[in-house]
Structure 1
Amino acid sequence: MLCVVGWQSVTDRQPPQAVWRVAASLELFHLFALIHDDIMDSSMTRRGQPTAHCSLAARHADRDAAALGVNAAILLGDLALGWSYELLHTTRPGPARHLSRAWPLFNALRTETLVGQYLDLLGSGPGAAARPDVTAARRVIRYKTAKYTCERPLQLGAHLAGAGTRALAALSAYALPLGEAFQLRDDLLGVYGDPERTGKSVLDDLREGKHTVLAATALQRATPAQASVLRTGLGNRALTEAHASTIREVFGATGARTAVENLISQRCEEALAALDDAPLRPGATATLRSLAAAAVTRTA
């Protein structure tokens, strides 16, 4: 959607086939990232369904199912990544004659996403609680989410329409704070959300020891007793719901949850303010405002 809105932010012309193929390529890249991310996080569910490696393992119960499921899911993710490239390479320029200008953005998107994933891995696990760093947590968000799910898709669509530097800068000024707000909301839903709506467990991020802004803020503000609760729970693969409830109480008592809610509001306001005088088409601007509201108030 963001890729198409990027196109519409520059021109009133209908998106040609090339734009839809680029958007589809982004979807396949996103699929690759999710499949591999679920493996790294040992996640069991995604959108209310078994993750790829769990689903594949269930098909081969007569084998070393867990290992086969993981290995096959790695191949599945690789296949999605390969198909993402294939869609781009077989896209004919046609009306989208600016496709060659967009290639550096594709390459940057892939590099940034993998760097963000690496930083996320470094910041996860029991050891992460010993060195809380809100700045580092926000850096992960920028590379793992804000750039690849918001900024680059918008820029790619705009590039295909022949956008100038002012339009591209305006889209970045909107996308980066919105992407951060989106991920901050996701982090809260990962701890407080309704699994029936989110499709994921509220224990996964805690058991993984994700170094989120929420966790880092709580650790920085915690009393010694509160810090002990966090350090024994975050990254504990055997974490129980009872211990998770205690962690949530610490998140609330330290003001970490409120701080993240305030940061979401601030970043959303920054994104919307970037649209005030942006040289973008009115219809696209209205869509971007609606998307911002939906992204930060979502419950799933």
Structure 2
Amino acid sequence: DTGLAKMSMIDAVLNIFDQLVPKNVVNDAAKNHLISVILMAIVAGCLLRVTREDGRRSVFLDLLDEINEVVTKVINGLIWLSPLGVGSLVCSSAARFDLAHLGASVALLVVAVLCVAGLHMLVFCGLMLLLGAGRNPIRYFVNCLPPLLTALGSSSSAAALPLSIAAAVEKNGLSPHIAKFVLNLGATINMDGTTAYLICATSFLAALQGIALDPGDYISMILMATLCSMGTAPVPSGSLVLLTTLLTSLNIPVTETFGLITAVDWLLDRVRTCVNVYGDACVAAVLDKKMEGSNPKEELFVSAV
């Protein structure tokens, strides 16, 4: 089963909708059919009760927390060894491919990500502020510089969150309950910069290996990148794991060329983090405008993490 390979546009779209209903979740997970697995996880998360009727916490949630802790410890251990792995992958790629071609390809990827980030922040977010919130995009951007600089330096949306809330409330005049709710939620699920990066990186690695992607592949890529990025941890290089998963689901081999992505990820990670942070701030401004004059709900008061 090669998924969406060489299908027409209509067949590709129908195939994606067909994958939304999992026939066998275990089999779909084993074959990296992420769309059905993600949808099943969303449905299970909505139906799962945090507490049981007797007031005790769900045992299944405790099990998931334990599994998450184990996986996190394993990943943290691998991160300490990553410099050796990245160095080996880069050296292997340098030995097998033409250095000038590799350098030009990586530079093209960096330029593409920077252009997409700039276009999204300055044009799309600017229009969203102007039309959706009735605000001056330039002034709003300048007021958001403290959290953006923090995101640029730390590569973490969570690290920039307190400054984002402060800038939204004190400098941009947003309602505190709107700012806290939207920015806390956005730091977890609104990863527009990560989505754009995953698409650029996947296309880059496919082209570098001579793999042609058809329209169906791009549709599937966009959908999976959007859904996967919603669960990205707001920590440095949190999307690299998702990138490997996305590559596997599209039948793109994860070879030593992946080391080229890892070698420049320290820079691209900072850029996409800035996009994520600024996107959250713009959504908060639009929502504040839409809810202007409404009474704040107690549930919206979420403390900064």
TM norm. shorter chain > 0.5: no
Higher relative contact order (CA 8 A, sep 6+): 2
Give the TM-score of the pair, scaled to structure 2.
Answer: 0.26
Give the TM-score of the pair, scaled to structure 1.
Answer: 0.26
